[in-house]
Structure 1
Amino acid sequence: MQVSIEISLYPLAEQTYKSQIWGFIDNLKAIDGLAVVTNGMSTQVFGDYDLATSTVMAEIKKVHQALGAAVFVCKFIAGDRQRVEARN
């Protein structure tokens, strides 16, 4: 089963947070089997349901451990919406 996940990360830390955001994205991009697309407002992850959800949750945990305070807004939808959007 495939999944599409849209994620927005809002660090609440006083420190420089751009490196944490890019680190989060780079870690997702490093996983074979996931397609990761970014834009100015969110990161979209497409791939196998179990791989994508477990990877995203592990990366969210790393950010929380590093920053202590960060808000994630996530949307999950079954299926590969990247391929559906490309056809339209």
Structure 2
Amino acid sequence: MKVSIEITLLPLDQDFESHIITFIKRLRASKFTVLENPMSTQIYGEYNEVMSFLTKEIESTFEAQENVVLNLKLVKSDRSHYEPHF
């Protein structure tokens, strides 16, 4: 089953930007489609594969930081080609 996942990483640290950049670079290095905008990053792929990958990346991110918030939104479908119709 295909999924679209929106991720917002919010490190509660003075050096927040470097943590976000590191996380996004690891997502980009994956085999999944990754799209970014100023507010969040989206990753698209097969549910089990993406979730297995994200579980490891989230754990690594949490281990590297003392305080961090990570928001996920999941949609059951591949929305990577979405274009507004208005």
- TM-score relative to the length of structure 1: 0.87
CA distance 1:87–1:12, change in 2 (3 Å):
closer
Tell me which residue corresponds to 2:25. Answer: 26
Match of 1:77 among 59, 64, 75: 75
How many correspondences in the alignment? Answer: 85
Query: 2 CA distance for matches of 1:54 and 1:68?
Result: 23
Q: What is the aligned-residue RMSD (CA, Å)?
A: 1.5
- TM-score relative to the length of structure 2: 0.89
3-state SS of 1:10 partner: strand
Give 4+ residue runs of structure 1 displaced > 6 Å after superposition: none
Query: 2 CA distance for matches of 1:50 and 1:29?
Result: 18
Quote how far apart the aligned CAs of 1:28 are: 1.0
Identity among equivalent pairs (%): 36
- One-letter code aligned to 1:7: I
3-state SS of 2:35 partner: strand
- One-letter code aligned to 1:68: E
Larger helix proportion of the pair: 1
Unaligned runs of 5+ in 2: none
3-state SS of 1:81 partner: coil
Encode CA deviations 1:19-42: one digit per residue, 9 max, x unaligned.
Answer: 11111111111112x000111000
Correspondence 1:11 to 2:14:
no
3-state SS of 1:82 partner: coil
Tell me which residue corresponds to 1:36. Answer: 34
Query: 2 CA distance for matches of 1:86 and 1:56?
Result: 26
- One-letter code aligned to 2:68: A
Unaligned runs of 5+ in 1: none
Quote how far apart the aligned CAs of 1:87 are: 8.1
